[in-house]
């Protein structure tokens, strides 16, 4: 079973993010002062296709209802702006992120960085965007809103670590959104299951594409079931397979090769040196650097 194989791959790779964490490309950092005023954008892109990765809290699974990530997200959530709609239509996303910031502030009211972000969100999104439009990077930001790295987080002026990475405010609560325990179809044991799975960067698909998903109200649900409860997958298994898959699909991965518009993944089931050598040999034989073309 492919999900179990991906789960096993995650378990044998000690270098992958721990449960509840994720390496996320964040292309633009919003610099704010201690009063929450916008200072400037900071460009963290590496090239036209990638940006610096940060270890942050795992991104949320999304369906139709807005759900905010933990102190980082796209422009719709962070400052209520999109090139696909007016700011009024983006307001629900902004308000969702603002509510998340308030929740974090109430948990860490004495943290200077959190207080600054909370103050930032005492402004209307129109005022925030107006200040941002005077920044030299604004045109570049707007032009690249649809890139996978077009995520935004905050950095307090004079600090060196973005706020989304600060371990003291990470608050990794694995009991969020308490769910019923079911038998996980991947691990075969009782565990808390996920209702909505996490997006994976499947080549040629939308940024919100998922390896496992169920259409809502489309007539394919089991009786009395909806979303992830149709085929229960535990939080542990879901985190492991999505982390493993995203790791192998990342730019520069040596666990994939491309033929035409198809991407093939491969990995060894063992962590032995012989298995690692086999992976490397197969990449050498079939793979190529991504900038070489196909």
Q: How far apart are CA 117 and CA 33, in angstroms?
A: 9
Q: How far apart are CA 27 and CA 140, in angstroms?
A: 11
pLDDT of 184 strictly over 80: yes
Q: What is the pLDDT of residues 53-111, one digit of tens each?
A: 999 998 887 777 899 999 999 999 999 999 887 788 899 999 999 999 999 999 999 99
Give the pLDDT band of residue 282 (cuts 50, 70, 90).
confident
Q: What is the pLDDT of residues 237-258, one digit of tens each?
A: 999 999 999 889 887 888 888 8
Ramachandran angles phi, psi of 87, nearest 5°: -70, -25
Pairing assessment for the beta strands 190-192 and 181-183 based on DSSP bridges:
antiparallel
- Collect all residues with Cβ–Cβ distance below 8 Å to 15 and sequence separation of at least 6: none
Give the pLDDT band of residue 143 (cuts 50, 70, 90).
very high
The residue whose two tokens read 């200072």 is 39
CA distances from 135 to 46, 103, 199, 230, 279 (A): 20, 29, 31, 48, 46
pLDDT confidence of residue 124? 94
Q: What is the pLDDT of residues 219-239, one digit of tens each?
A: 667 776 777 778 898 989 999
Mean pLDDT score of the chain? 86
Higher pLDDT, 112 or 176: 112
pLDDT confidence of residue 207? 66
pLDDT of 168 strictly over 90: no
- 200-214, 250-264, 270-284: least confident range: 200-214
pLDDT confidence of residue 227? 79
Residue boundaries of the structural domains of the chain: 1-17+174-251, 21-169, 252-294
CA distances from 288 to 23, 91, 201, 212 (A): 24, 44, 19, 29
pLDDT confidence of residue 174? 43
Q: How far apart are CA 237 and CA 293, in angstroms?
A: 34
Q: What is the pTM of this model?
A: 0.75
The residue whose two tokens read 């073309």 is 293
pLDDT of 290 strictly over 60: no
Question: How many residues are given for the chain?
Answer: 294
């Amino acid at each position: 079973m492919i999900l179990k194989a991906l789960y096993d791959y995650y378990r044998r790779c000690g270098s992958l993010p721990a449960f509840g964490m994720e390496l996320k490309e964040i292309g633009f950092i919003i610099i704010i002062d201690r009063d929450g005023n916008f200072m400037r954008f900071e460009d963290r892109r590496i090239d036209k296709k990638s940006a610096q990765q940060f270890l942050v809290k795992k991104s949320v699974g999304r369906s139709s209802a807005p759900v905010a990530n933990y102190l980082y997200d796209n422009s719709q959530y962070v400052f209520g702006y999109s090139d696909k709609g007016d700011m009024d239509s983006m307001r629900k996303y902004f308000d969702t992120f603002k509510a998340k910031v308030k929740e974090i502030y109430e948990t860490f009211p004495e943290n200077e960085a959190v207080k600054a972000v909370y103050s930032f969100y005492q402004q209307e999104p129109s005022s925030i965007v107006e200040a941002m439009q005077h920044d030299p990077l604004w045109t570049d930001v707007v032009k690249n809103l649809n890139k996978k790295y077009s995520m935004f987080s905050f950095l307090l002026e004079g600090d060196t670590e973005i706020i989304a990475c600060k371990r003291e405010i990470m608050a990794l609560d694995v009991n969020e959104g308490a769910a019923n325990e079911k038998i996980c179809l991947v691990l075969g044991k009782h565990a808390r299951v996920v209702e909505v799975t996490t997006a994976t960067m499947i080549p040629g698909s939308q940024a919100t594409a998922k390896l496992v998903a169920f259409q809502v109200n489309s007539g394919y649900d089991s009786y009395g079931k909806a979303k992830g409860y149709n085929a229960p997958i535990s939080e542990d298994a879901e985190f492991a397979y999505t982390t493993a898959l995203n790791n192998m699909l990342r730019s520069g991965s040596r666990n994939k090769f491309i033929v035409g518009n198809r991407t093939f993944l491969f990995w060894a089931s063992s962590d032995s040196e012989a298995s690692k050598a086999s992976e490397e040999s197969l990449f050498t034989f079939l793979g190529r650097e991504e900038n070489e073309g196909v």
